[in-house]
Amino acid sequence: MTGQLNVNINLGFDKLFEMVASYLGPGIIRRKSVEENKARLSAAHTDIDVQKLGVTAEYEEKKARLLAERDYRQFEAQLRAKELPPAVDVEIIDDVPIIWDPEPVVLDHQRRPFEFVEQRRLRNLQQVVNETANNLKALPAHEEVSEQGPDPDWAARFFDCAQDVSNEDMQKLWGKLLAGEIAQPGKYSLRTLDVLRNLTSTEAQLFHRYITFCSNIGQILLPDDEEFVKACSVRLSDTAQLVECGLLHPGKEAMFGFQPVDVRFPFRAKVLRIHGPTTRKLWGGTVFDVTGAGRDLANISLPPVDETYLAALRASALRHKLASEVTDASPPTPEPSEQQGKSSS
């Protein structure tokens, strides 16, 4: 068991190192010696020099190239040749002289924003890569890591997005996503990266709450009666925001009652059944389908179903003269070969 786990970790780290090196340069991240790696693995440490992700000579060279772009060099040459207007200009606004001195702004601050932004982005990537390493280490022994590795275009898009993520909770989410993609390339689409890139921490928390209302088929049923809305604290503005974020499709109406009702809603390991004869009073509400990107993000860390939501759903049906019960989902029927194997044993 341990040997298989180490193989998965090593292969996962190989892919992680390749991705970081291809995006930031080979000097940004490195492995220690084989002996040190073995010692770290046996001691269950997960830093494996990922913590050493920092400013190196290669990074300095890359930064220097950024600072030496053509426009900047031309602008600096113009300053030195004094081809620009006088350094000090005076503008009168409401009889108050405003003195503009562009020279210090250009010479003193032109370079510093580049340095600050690049260092901040590198710190962000360091945290995301560390989270990825921790998630790779936590992979179960039976889960295989693909030898193929993520698509280069996907990897470039990932790092381009993740470098601007400073929120700690969102960095953890990005780390889980990368670990999943390394283990199973193609698991997450470029569209999912774009949706996550534009997601705030508050929106992610809101989505996480509404996913506790989501059935196994990717649908969220929200009855519109006042008691249900109050019990679950749902708001139209919440669902509208999640639709705008690209996590939910626009809602559609779903009503039951003109014919005998017998519907089943699977929730994780439970099934909610609502049934009854034909009623004069329709029961139902608005159904929101989770988008493909929403499913990807929900499956990264799928929360359990909200028991308050299930109780409120049953109470809503009862108010419309419909019966309901929650049962455990039936386990899948074993294949004939499995049954024979058990009987023979």
**Helices and strands (H, E) in the chain, number of each type:** 15, 8
CA atoms within 13 A on the CB side of 205: 6
116 vs 41, more confident: 116
H-only helix segments in 198-270: 201-211, 226-232, 236-244
Minimum mean pLDDT range among 140-144, 161-165, 168-172: 140-144
Position 253 confidence tier, pLDDT thresholds 50, 70, 90:
very high
74 vs 221, more confident: 221
pLDDT in tens, 312-333: 999 999 998 889 999 988 655 4
pTM listed for this prediction: 0.69
Contact present, 247 and 290 (Cβ < 8 Å): yes
Q: Which helix (H) or strand (E) holds 110?
A: none
CB atoms near residue 182 (< 10 Å): 27
For 64, the token pair is 């220097």
Q: Which helix (H) or strand (E) holds 335?
A: none
pLDDT in tens, 272-298: 999 988 777 788 899 999 999 999 999
